[in-house]
Structure 1
Amino acid sequence: MSSATIGEWLTLWLMAFALGMDAFSIGLGMGMLRLRLRQIMKIGIVIGLFHIGMPLAGLLLGKQLSVHFGGIAIMIGGGLLLLLGMQMIVSSFKAGAEPFVTPVGFGLIVFAVSASLDSFSVGLSLGIYGARTLLTIAMFGMMSMLLTWGGLLLGKKVQGWLGPYSEALGGVILLAFGAKLLFPI
């Protein structure tokens, strides 16, 4: 293997890890909801699939659209995370309140889209440089799935320690991550 190939693989793994850390952070917040292990497995797989589909769409659209939609995708993802975070905080203070959006059914799709919108922008950028499509999306999907599971499992553990305050903490994490996307320092 040439040093250029090794450098490409290392770069793609680092990008996959960075994108997966978004999913880890969001998973950490959502893991503080009372989720069963089966739900956690399903959520990780769906997030992984979205982290394959979104950069694939970005890679296919390429250079022309990256200028127009890269920033919009980040704003939409940040806005969704702010909404989910605020909802979790508010519902944590209401006795017996069910979360507005849960990671089940349509809520899982909203969760997956908000976690993977930034990978769409990365895919657009990688489309410009002609990155290897199959390799890129496989790395992104695998890393985000594994890190989502890690975040959800850690969030579930923290939820057990914090009890009723865990949902509010999860909301604060999602809120902070959404604000970070919208207002980078």
Structure 2
Amino acid sequence: MSLIELFIIAVGLSMDAFAVSICKGLSMQRMSWKNAVIVGLYFGGFQAGMPLFGYILGSQFKEAITSIDHWIAFILLGIIGFNMIRESLNKEEECVDCSVAPGNMILLAIATSIDALAVGVTFAFLQVRIVPAVSFIGSTTFVLSIIGVKVGNVFGTRYKSKAEFAGGLILVIMGVKILLDHTLGI
């Protein structure tokens, strides 16, 4: 997997965390860089840890399903991407409170990184170098989460659904690319 493809996946995965970070920033009376870094650490850490966990799980089954791994990657990324797109089109705004308490942040970090677990499974099938990949994903999410808090504090919810839609679309496109690479040799 090329660095550009990994960057695209990292940005796509981080869009849920970015959207929640915007809500965090929206709910803050005053922008707090300390709280923004805490948000970034939680989201970045879980976005790095979940694909690692998925990779370990996927590696256990790799031998048994190598012949259909590209279909699994396509289906998983497609489901995740379409779900993100569907959620972005939902008109109900569901912003979270401004608390950065550990219990609150752990639940949000898990919720925004479940898709990264599935991507980690696909990484096992694609023979991705996992440590650099998860480090890159975590770092990207960390930075975008801090930016999201600032954007939310300044602009409100204007960009939340657009970010989630873009993230979903990116994951669907990557799933199609993986399928085409393996079936057509493109």
Given the two structures, how large is their TM-score scaled by the length of structure 1?
A: 0.64
Structure 1 pair 8–148 and aligned structure 2 pair: CA distance change class (3 A): same
In structure 2, what is the equivalent of residue 95 of structure 1? none
What is the 5 A alignment of 1:1-185? 8-34=2-28, 36-62=32-58, 64=61, 85-86=93-94, 99=97, 102-159=99-156, 169=157, 173=160, 177=164
How far apart, in 1, do the equivalents of 2:25 and 2:19 lie?
10
SS in 1 for 2:100: coil
How far apart, in 2, do the equivalents of 1:106 and 1:131 lie?
32
The amino acid of 1:52's aligned partner reads A
Contact 1:23–1:115 (8 Å) recurs in 2? yes
Aligned-pair Cα RMSD in Å? 3.8
Contact 1:48–1:141 (8 Å) recurs in 2? yes
Unaligned ranges ≥5, structure 2: 63-68, 173-186
SS in 2 for 1:156: helix
Contact 2:23–2:95 (8 Å) recurs in 1? no
Q: Deviations over 1:9-53 (max 9, x none)?
A: 221122112112332222112210115221111110111110111
- Aligned residues between the structures: 150
Structure 1 pair 10–177 and aligned structure 2 pair: CA distance change class (3 A): closer
Q: Deviations over 1:67-102 (max 9, x none)?
A: 6xx59x95xx97xx99x95475xxxxxxxxxx4x83
The offset of 1:177, in angstroms, is: 4.8
Structure 1 pair 46–87 and aligned structure 2 pair: CA distance change class (3 A): closer
